[in-house]
Structure formats: C-alpha cells, structure tokens
Amino acid sequence: MAVLPFLTTVAMYNAAVSNPLLAGDLNCPTCAMVRGGLVGAVIGGFYPVLLALPVNAGLATRYNTAPMPEKGNVMRFWISVTQPVLRKMSFVFILQALFAVYLSSRHYGIYMKMLELPTSDTEVLKD
C-alpha cells in the first residue's frame, strides 16, 4: 500500500508525457510541462491524501480514537477534517508540481535532442 502512489504516478507520467512524446503526439514544450505538472500535483500529491482517508477512518473506528460522524454528516466531517491538512500540505503540493514540471522540461529537451540526431545508414551489426 505504501508504494501505490509512487507506482501510480510513474504509470500516469508515462501515459501522459513519455509515451505521447515518443509517439510524436506531443510536440509542444508548454503542453509537456503542464501535463507533467498536473500529473505531479494531482497523482503525486492529492492521490496519497485520498488514499489515507479511508485507512485513517478504519483505524479510528477500530480503535475508537476519534468519534465518527453520523450517517448524514460523513462528507461534511471529512471535508472539515482534511482542510487543515490540505492547507499545511499546500507547499508540498506546489513543490511536487514544480519538480514534475522540471522533469517534463528535461524530458522534452532530451526528446528534441533525440530528434536532431542524424540517422545512420549503416546496416545493423550482427553477432
């Protein structure tokens, strides 16, 4: 469960940035950086918080460490509980997005250098 956000972030980055770059479907540097930033912020930042909510609720219910809300107030309760955490984590979300934008820009730069390489007319070497 601890590596699930990491694996999901890598898979989504590959699906949203890497594969379209290599397929030639993503030729805009701004688009690559925005896609990378969104993947980093949403999947790398908010997704682990959303995964932690049911785990924390289950532990609080099992060990009776926090009073759980009635059936009608569940969403309002979780919104009020997570707002202070999200405010404190906003710097981490922004940092995650900035690292993803940087990674996407480097990835796009490597892609452009790869396109500038001359093609080789030699035959494939055989063993």
pLDDT digits (tens, 9 = 90+) for 62-88: 898 888 888 888 888 888 888 998 899
* Band of pLDDT at residue 10, cut at 50, 70 and 90: very high
The pTM assigned to this predicted structure is: 0.80
30-56 confidence digits (pLDDT tens): 999 999 999 999 999 889 888 888 888
The radius of gyration computed from the CA coordinates of the chain, to the nearest angstrom, equals: 21
Q: What is the DSSP letter of 122?
A: S
- Cα dihedral across residues 12, 15, 16, 22: positive or negative: positive
Beta-carbon neighbour count of residue 110 at 10 Å? 11
pLDDT at 127 over 70: no
Return the structure tokens found at 31: 């688009």
Quickly tell me which residue has 């820009």 as its tokens: 105
pLDDT band at 2 (very low <50, low <70, confident <90, very high): confident
Query: Residues 108, 16: contact at Cβ < 8 Å?
Result: no
Please tell me the predicted confidence (pLDDT) of residue 126.
64
Indicate whether 123 pLDDT > 70.
no
